[in-house]
């Protein structure tokens, strides 16, 4: 418990100090406090990791305090540290540490320096709360807390209209996902009477046959409903189509957070969550098919969008969407371990790519348009080499980390018998070509070919300082090696223990393992396979289009104008959402406010009844005329009426 | 009862008498002394309410700190006070909020300061009295009495359209409570007493229950307010001075909720059950419909007022969904969770809406405008203020870790046990609440400095910092560890749920 608390509290404390006393302790004070906080967290996480994975320490599962007891249910704050958690903790704290160091260089001219450090430390805390949770409540807390920090950081430069538009959009779209997530938590509580992971997973098989009705008489499998609702939450956070639109816009935030939050850690929370919930998902074929197809759709179609972007960060953002799609596909075919494996390798190489892009952006004086770059390899050699390493890992070049993780996903989909798996297979396979094409389009446009920047920028170009390049180098190391080192234990060994549950009939990784003869053999085998050919074809086409024949892409764009138009419009998701949801909600609001509240309720009922009272009293006032004969006449009429009733009544 | 000291009376009458005295002596002692005097009185009232919490026995649902003195013996009307786990949190909220309101008036009120502060002190005592009263007539008297100071507060220190707003406020709420009085008179006729505990056990036919329920409903639904009798609230808020809005939102609305819990549900359980469906639908309309209406408001105070209605929808939802939960699950656990969630929502909303109105007050003091479009880029000149308001905006949007989350979360979770669709519509607040709150925040706080007036803004001073920080502490504390608050309520709510599920029809 002490270790867990140190891991959680060190970044929180650092964040609070940086946030409240940032101006008193100064810039250097702030970055030292936060870096030490995260470094402590990383080192202790590493100790825990070694304990759990190497020393075979028992799984840690304990409650810290009772958050709430009501209606016979107690909700706790507590930690579950097993193989899956420990892996995530190391990945999160390592990338976070690198980003903290890098930030010293990237943000050193920014007036919001202290605020930035406070936010990213707070993020580290939130993300750790998310992965270390032992119950749904705390998971939801971490889930929303990372969303909050993401909101704050996308809008970090709050005077930019585009940034504050993007952060609101990100928060609201995530809330759509959370809407599903919250309902699934409600369903879990209703049927399991607890929100504790261990107990829920324990009871899950007994509830496998339970059905519920939602609409009419149709019977739904309870677990299918729960899992699909949970996955809607994951779709928001992990930016799966159609809830993906916030991620490209989130690039309005400073580059270090694009690396930390919108590539390496937060967006993978959805992947982590599904893996964590594997005991539930395994019980619903339907939900898994839904997961797989969503992932496949995202992997292929979002990759295509990366081809037409000219902003260096947006290219990488679409690449992130596509890679998240790959992870989701892996989850959908029950290859959870492969999904987490790709999550980890992707965290390293994608953080690397973003930070390298950031290094280029600093060099170019905050220019992000790739059409104004070119030939940078001579001037920024470290950035160039590390970026190349990241790209090779991304396209799955044999030997690099991404090769192992992505190849295994493709193989797993190939061998899966899940409904719709063949469609998903073609999507992920063609995705390989697309990935290679946009990745090397970036490399060639930025680092090779003609220098297209203006003379002033050219004169001031130089390699970034060591606080920037050292994290690049440190991230490049796992980007190359993590795959070869971990593929065997992680995918085919007993790495995850009981933290991930796969039913024997779904165990594609198990059957793949029978043909696995070490990473070297896989590399040798890999160069003869289809994915490698496709990747090489992608690189070749990128070379042809952006180095050999720079005119070709433009001609192609004119030839296939409709497709190009559709891609630059990002399939129109943004416009449709803006019109239908944002516009629609405002229209409904105006209608209800104007017609409902002001006209019907206030106009007719409230002020209307006041008017009726007024009118009525005006009429009655006429009766009180003051003339005696009026009153006498009224009395006579009354008497006559009474008499009539009296006579007729009898 | 071991507690012989009449502490409740002291908490009620100290501010009322002190406030009344202020009306007369205030003009002689000068503005500065007046403020200090009011602050000391409100602090004293708060400090006196602390022993209530410390000495409170959480194991029993019985009334505690009871005081009973005959008042009008001919009609068996007693000065009968006492509190349980439902009243206690509301009393603490009242005395706490009054301090902040006095502090908030420090610089922003310059006209007739003694009368202004006096009205709030009197209001403080009257509101506590409403939550303590255990006699129908006593309750009614206090209930109506606090309309007067609020009427004056809006009418004298309010905005340009204050006359329309006060009359609307007064007539709306008065009309509702007159029916309540009729209901009490009928109950007296049946039971021969106004004693609340006796009325709780009075058997009644379903027809009688229905009429009483409707009469109570008119009084309480207007106060909370529920759709469609809510339209007085936005007008009253817009015209009220900051302190008036804070008290209105933080405490007066809760009286409606308290009324349902103390009177409607236990006195007419069978009618409540019969009408629960309607109340649930009205609550959901409040949550969804009002959420959309809030989205398009151009006035910050109006937006927060609508947001209050929407949030109070959770309070009424939690109270009436219990019948459906018990019907579906056959057990009381979910119902207890729903009702405690509903209480939590009321307390939390007290802090959050109070804080948001104070935030608007801070801006209004400086710029004299409540229009969203008059602002933009405030963060550039008021960073500390922007940070506080961010916290409260997020709490209003129900972010976990803040108190705003706890009530919504428990109500949504328990509603699911009644029906998927109730939970579905209730959960839409996740999106709507975030949309209207953060969109307003974006337009007011973020962006480039919109105009010269924003450029000249001064960040909040130490006094304002103290006010907002104390609310921030409460919002975070209740969000991180809500259990202590729930512990206070358990016994009373369990007893209430058990009580309302037993039919008291005349056989």
Average pLDDT over residues B102-120: 86
User: Which of A19, A71, A173, A214 has the most B C-beta neighbours within 10 Å, making it the best mutation to test the interface with B?
Assistant: A71
Nearest to B7 by CA among B95, B73, B75: B95
Give the integer Cα–Cα distance in Å for B399 and A119: 17
CA distance A60 to A48: 10
Chain A, chain B: beta-carbon pairs less than 8 Å apart: 141
The per-residue DSSP string of B312-325 comes to: HHHHHHHHHHHHHH
When pLDDT is averaged across residues B20-41 and rounded to a whole number, the result is: 86
Residue with tokens 């309750």: B139
Residue B288 · residue B427 · CB < 8 Å: no
Q: Is the peptide bond before B228 cis (omega within 30 degrees of 0)?
A: yes
User: How far apart are the C-alpha atoms of B107 and B97, rounded to whole Å?
Assistant: 18
CB contact burial B95-107 (16+ within 10 A = b; e otherwise): bbbbbbbbbbbbe
Average pLDDT, chain A: 87
DSSP secondary structure letter of residue A61: E
Q: Which residues of A touch B372 (CB under 8 A)?
A: none
Q: Is B446 on the interface with A (CB under 8 A)?
A: yes
Q: Are B325 and B334 in contact, with CB atoms under 8 Å apart? A: yes
Percent above pLDDT 70 for chain A: 100
Q: Are B396 and B352 in contact (CB under 8 A)?
A: yes
Q: Which of A72, A73, A164 sits opposite B442 (nearest CB)?
A: A164
Cα distances from A144 to residues A174, B40, B149, in angstroms, run 9, 41, 42
pLDDT > 90 in chain B, percent: 52
Chain B environment of A72 (Cβ under 8 Å):
333, 336
Give the DSSP H/E element, type plus range, for residue B114. Answer: helix B113-132
Q: Look at A589 and B431 and tell me if their CB atoms are within 8 Å.
A: no
pLDDT above 90 covers a percentage of chain A that reads: 30
Nearest CA in chain A to B393: A148
**Closest chain A residue to the Cα of B302, Cα to Cα:** A593
Within 8 A of A146 by CB-CB distance, chain B residues are: none
CB distance A73–B401 less than 8 Å?
A: no
**Taking 60 as the threshold, does the pLDDT of residue B351 lie above it?**
yes
pLDDT of residue A256: 87
User: Is there a contact between A589 and B341 if contact means CB atoms under 8 Å apart?
Assistant: no
Contact assignment for B292 to A588 by CB distance below 8 Å: yes
The CA distance from A315 to A356, in Å, is 13
Confidence of residue A624 (pLDDT cuts 50, 70, 90): confident
Are the Cβ atoms of A597 and B409 closer than 8 angstroms? no
The predicted model gives A341-352 an average pLDDT of 90
B296 with A70: Cβ contact below 8 A: no
Residue A628 parent element (H or E): helix A628-649
Q: What's B388's DSSP letter?
A: H
Q: Chain B window 208-247: which residues touch A at a Cβ cutoff of 8 Å?
A: 228, 231-232
> How far is it, in rounded angstroms, from Cα A158 to Cα B447?
6
The answer to whether B170 touches B196, Cβ cutoff 8 Å, is: no
> Is B465 part of the contact surface with chain A (CB cutoff 8 Å)?
no
Using pLDDT thresholds of 50, 70 and 90, give the confidence band for residue B1. Answer: very low
Query: How high is the mean pLDDT of chain B?
Result: 90
Q: Give the model's confidence band at B114: pLDDT under 50 very low, under 70 low, under 90 confident, else very high.
A: confident
CA dihedral B6, B12, B14, B20 (to 10 degrees): -140
Residue A123 to residue B21: CA distance in whole angstroms: 53
Residue A649: its pLDDT value, please?
66
Q: Does pLDDT of A482 surpass 90?
A: no
Strand partners, A65: A77
Smallest CA–CA separation between A15 and chain B, in Å? 14
Query: Using CA atoms, how far apart are residues A507 and A485, in angstroms rounded to an integer?
Result: 22
Find the closest chain B residue to A226 by CA distance: B420
Residue B384 sits at the chain A interface (C-beta within 8 Å): no
pLDDT at B77: 87
Please report the pLDDT score of residue B165 as a whole number. Answer: 85
Exposure string for A228-242, b = 16+ CB within 10 A, e = fewer: bbbbbbbbbbbbbbe
Return the residue matching tokens 């046990």. Answer: B417
Lowest-confidence segment of A521-525, A623-627, B34-38 by average pLDDT: A623-627
Class of residue B56 by CB neighbours under 10 A (exposed 0-12, middle 13-18, buried 19+): middle
d(CA A531, CA A511): 20
Dist. CA A68–CA A80, nearest whole Å: 19
Tell me if A471 sits within 8 A of A390, measured CB to CB.
Answer: no
pLDDT of residue B304: 93
Q: Which of A72, A176, A185 sits opposite B413 (nearest CB)?
A: A185
B292 close contact with A: CB closer than 8 A? yes
B205 token code pair: 């036919």
| A233-241: average pLDDT | 89
> What would the two tokens of residue B289 be?
């419909």
Quick one: average pLDDT of B238-256?
91
Find the mean pLDDT for residues B488-494. 92
End-to-end Cα separation, chain A, in angstroms: 93
Q: Residue written as tokens 């989909």?
A: A413
In terms of average pLDDT, the best of A69-73, A605-609, B281-285 is: B281-285
Secondary structure, 3-state, A75-119: EEEEEEECHHHHHHHHHHHHHHHHHHHHHHHHCCCCCCHHHHHHH
B293–chain A Cβ distance below 8 A for any pair? yes
> pLDDT tens, A130-143?
999 999 999 999 99
A99: Cβ contacts below 8 Å, ≥ 6 apart: A120, A256, A257, A259, A260, A351, A355, A471
Mutate which of A15, A19, A64, A68 to disrupt the B interface (most B C-beta within 10 Å)? A68
Q: Is the pLDDT of residue B215 over 50?
A: yes
The mean pLDDT of A138-154, rounded to a whole number, is: 92
> B506 pLDDT exceeds 80?
no
Each residue of B173-186: pLDDT tens digit? Answer: 888 888 899 999 99
In this complex, the residue of B394, B442, B486 whose CB is nearest that of residue A68 is: B486
Output the CA torsion sign for B426, B427, B428, B434: positive
Residue A206 has which token pair?
Answer: 């007994």
Q: What share of chain B has pLDDT > 70, as a percent?
A: 99
Give the pLDDT score at A373.
Answer: 86
pLDDT-derived band at B507 (thresholds 50, 70, 90) equals low
Cβ–Cβ gap B292/A69 under 8 Å? no
Residue A267: partners with Cβ closer than 8 Å, 6 or more residues away: A237, A238, A239, A247, A261, A320, A324
B231 to chain A: which residues are within 8 Å by CB? 597, 601-602, 606
How far, CA to CA in Å, does A155 sit from each of A105, A159, A290, B384, B481? 20, 8, 33, 17, 29
CB–CB of B431 and A179 under 8 A? yes
Q: Which residue has the higher pLDDT, A315 or A647?
A: A315
Query: How many CB atoms are located within 10 Å of the residue A127 CB?
Result: 31
B131-153 tens-digit pLDDT? 999 998 999 999 989 888 988 88
Cβ within 8 Å of A, B 406-445: 406, 409-410, 412-417, 420-421, 423-424, 427-428, 430-432, 434-435, 438-439, 442, 445
Contacts of A586 in chain B (CB under 8 A): 295-296
B56-82 confidence digits (pLDDT tens): 888 888 888 888 888 888 888 889 999
For B148, the 3-state DSSP assignment is: helix
**Residues of chain A neighbouring B414 (CB-CB closer than 8 A):** 71
**Residue the block writes with tokens 């933290």:** A499
pLDDT greater than 70 at residue B2: no
- pTM for the model stands at 0.90
Name the DSSP class of A62: E
Residues 6+ apart with CB under 8 A from A23: A114
> Residues A129, A143: contact at Cβ < 8 Å?
no
Tokens of B451: 């105009």
* Torsional sign, CA A607, A612, A615, A620: negative
Choose the mutation target among B233, B292, B338, B380 for the interface with A, i.e. most A CBs under 10 Å: B292
Q: Best residue in B416, B421, B478, B479 to probe A by mutation, most A CBs within 10 Å?
A: B416
The answer to whether residue B170 neighbours chain A at the CB level (below 8 Å) is no
Q: Would you place residue B468 in the very low, low, confident or very high pLDDT band (cuts 50, 70, 90)?
A: very high
3-state secondary structure of B501: coil
Identify which of A141, A151, A606 has the shortest CB distance to residue B400: A141
Residue A357 has pLDDT above 50, yes or no: yes
């Amino acid at each position: 418990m002490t270790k867990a608390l140190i891991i959680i509290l060190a970044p929180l404390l650092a964040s609070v100090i940086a946030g409240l006393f940032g101006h008193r302790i100064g810039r250097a004070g702030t970055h030292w406090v936060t870096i030490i906080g995260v470094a402590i967290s990383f080192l202790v996480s590493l100790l825990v990791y070694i304990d759990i994975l190497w020393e075979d320490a028992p799984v840690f599962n304990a409650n810290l305090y009772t958050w709430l007891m009501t209606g016979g249910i107690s909700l706790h704050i507590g930690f579950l540290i097993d193989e899956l958690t420990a892996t995530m903790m190391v990945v999160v704290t390592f990338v976070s540490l690198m980003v903290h160091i890098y930030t010293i260089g990237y943000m050193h001219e920014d007036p919001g320096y202290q605020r930035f450090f406070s936010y990213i430390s707070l993020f580290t805390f939130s993300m750790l709360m998310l992965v270390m949770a032992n119950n749904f409540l705390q998971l939801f807390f971490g889930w929303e807390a990372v969303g909050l920090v993401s909101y704050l950081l996308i809008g970090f430069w709050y005077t930019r209209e585009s940034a504050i538009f993007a952060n609101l959009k990100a928060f609201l779209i995530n809330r759509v996902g959370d809407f599903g997530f919250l309902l699934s938590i409600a369903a879990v509580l209703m049927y399991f009477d607890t929100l504790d992971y261990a107990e829920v997973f324990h009871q899950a098989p007994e509830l496998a046959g339970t059905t519920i009705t939602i609409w009419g008489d149709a019977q739904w499998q309870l677990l299918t409903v729960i899992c699909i609702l949970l996955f809607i939450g994951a779709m928001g956070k992990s930016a799966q189509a159609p809830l993906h639109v916030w991620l490209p816009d989130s690039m309005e935030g400073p580059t270090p957070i694009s690396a930390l939050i919108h590539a390496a850690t937060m967006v993978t929370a959805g992947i982590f969550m599904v893996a964590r919930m594997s005991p539930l998902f395994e019980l619903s074929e339907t939900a898994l098919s839904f997961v797989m197809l969503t992932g496949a759709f995202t992997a292929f179609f979002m990759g295509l969008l990366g081809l037409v972007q000219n902003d260096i960060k947006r290219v990488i953002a679409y690449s992130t969407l596509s890679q998240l799609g790959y992870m989701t596909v892996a989850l959908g075919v029950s290859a959870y371990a492969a999904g987490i494996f790709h999550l980890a390798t992707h965290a390293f190489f994608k953080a690397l790519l973003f930070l390298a892009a950031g290094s280029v952006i600093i060099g170019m004086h905050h220019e992000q348009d790739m059409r104004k770059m070119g030939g940078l390899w001579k001037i920024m050699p470290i950035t160039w080499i590390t970026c190349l390493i990241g790209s090779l890992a991304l396209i799955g070049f044999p030997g690099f980390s991404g090769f192992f993780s992505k190849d295994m996903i493709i193989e797993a989909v190939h061998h899966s018998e899940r409904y719709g798996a063949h469609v998903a297979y073609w999507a992920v396979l063609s995705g390989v070509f697309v990935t290679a094409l946009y990745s090397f389009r970036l490399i060639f446009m930025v680092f090779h070919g003609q220098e297209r920047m203006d003379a002033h920028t050219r004169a001031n170009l130089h390699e970034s300082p060591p606080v920037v390049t050292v994290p690049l180098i440190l991230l490049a190391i796992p980007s190359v090696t993590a795959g070869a080192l971990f593929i065997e234990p992680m995918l085919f060994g007993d790495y995850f223990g009981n933290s991930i549950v796969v039913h024997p009939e779904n165990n594609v990784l198990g059957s793949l393992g029978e043909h696995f003869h070490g990473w070297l053999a896989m590399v040798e085998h890999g160069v003869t396979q289809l994915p490698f050919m496709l990747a090489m074809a992608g690189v070749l086409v990128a070379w042809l289009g952006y180095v050999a024949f720079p005119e070709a892409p433009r001609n192609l764009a004119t030839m296939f104008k409709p497709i190009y138009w559709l891609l630059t419009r990002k399939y129109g998701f943004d416009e449709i959402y803006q019109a239908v949801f944002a516009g629609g909600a405002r229209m409904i609001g105006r209608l209800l406010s104007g017609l409902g509240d002001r006209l019907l309720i206030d106009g007719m009922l409230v002020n209307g009844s006041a008017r009726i009272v007024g009118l009525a009293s005006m009429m009655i006032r006429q009766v009180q005329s003051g003339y005696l004969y009026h009153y006498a006449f009224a009395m006579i009429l009354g008497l006559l009426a009474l008499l009539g009733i009296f006579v007729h009544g009898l | 009862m071991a507690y012989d000291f009449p502490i409740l009376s002291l908490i009620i009458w100290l501010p009322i008498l002190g406030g009344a005295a202020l009306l007369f002596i205030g003009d002689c002692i000068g503005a500065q002394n007046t403020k200090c005097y009011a602050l000391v009185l409100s602090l004293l009232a708060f400090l006196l309410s602390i022993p209530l919490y410390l000495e409170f026995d959480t194991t029993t649902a019985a009334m505690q700190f009871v005081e009973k003195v005959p008042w009008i013996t001919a009609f068996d009307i007693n000065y009968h006070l006492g509190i349980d786990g439902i009243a206690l949190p509301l009393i603490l909220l009242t005395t706490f909020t009054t301090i902040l309101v006095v502090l908030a008036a420090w610089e922003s009120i310059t006209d007739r300061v003694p009368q202004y502060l006096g009205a709030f002190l009197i209001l403080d005592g009257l509101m506590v009295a409403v939550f303590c009263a255990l006699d129908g007539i006593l309750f009614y008297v206090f209930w109506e009495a606090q309309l007067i100071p609020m009427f004056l507060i809006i009418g004298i220190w309010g905005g340009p359209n204050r006359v329309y707003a006060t009359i609307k406020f007064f007539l709306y709420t008065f009309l509702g409570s007159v029916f309540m009085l009729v209901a009490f008179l009928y109950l007296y006729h049946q039971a021969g007493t106004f004693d609340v505990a006796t009325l709780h056990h009075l058997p009644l036919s379903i027809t009688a229950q229905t009429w009483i329920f409707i009469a109570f409903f008119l009084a309480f639904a207007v106060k909370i307010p529920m759709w469609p009798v809510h339209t007085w609230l936005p007008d009253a808020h817009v015209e009220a001075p900051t302190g008036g809005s804070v008290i209105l939102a933080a405490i007066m609305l809760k009286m409606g909720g308290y009324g349902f819990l103390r009177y409607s549900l236990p006195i007419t359980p069978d009618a409540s059950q019969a009408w629960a469906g309607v109340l649930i639908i009205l609550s959901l309309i409040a949550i969804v419909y009002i959420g959309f209406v809030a989205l398009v408001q151009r006035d910050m105070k109006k937006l927060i007022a609508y947001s209050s209605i929407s949030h109070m929808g959770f309070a009424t939802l939690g109270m009436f969904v219990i019948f459906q939960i018990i019907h579906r699950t056959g057990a009381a656990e979910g119902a207890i969770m729903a009702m405690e969630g509903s209480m939590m929502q009321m307390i939390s909303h007290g802090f959050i809406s109070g804080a948001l109105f104070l935030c608007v007050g801070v801006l209004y003091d400086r710029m004299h405008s409540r229009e969203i479009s008059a602002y933009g880029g405030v963060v550039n000149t008021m960073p500390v203020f922007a940070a506080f308001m961010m916290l409260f905006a997020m709490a209003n949007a129900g972010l976990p870790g803040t108190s705003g989350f706890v009530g919504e979360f428990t109500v949504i979770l328990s509603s699911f046990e009644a029906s998927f669709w109730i939970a579905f519509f209730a959960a839409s607040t996740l999106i709507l609440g975030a949309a209207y709150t953060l969109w307003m925040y974006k337009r007011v706080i973020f962006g480039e400095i919109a105009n010269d007036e924003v450029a000249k803004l001064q960040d909040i001073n130490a006094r304002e910092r103290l006010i907002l920080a104390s609310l921030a502490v409460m919002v975070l504390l209740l969000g991180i560890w809500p259990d202590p608050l729930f512990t206070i309520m358990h016994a009373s709510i369990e007893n209430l749920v058990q009580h309302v599920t037993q039919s008291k029809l005349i056989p």
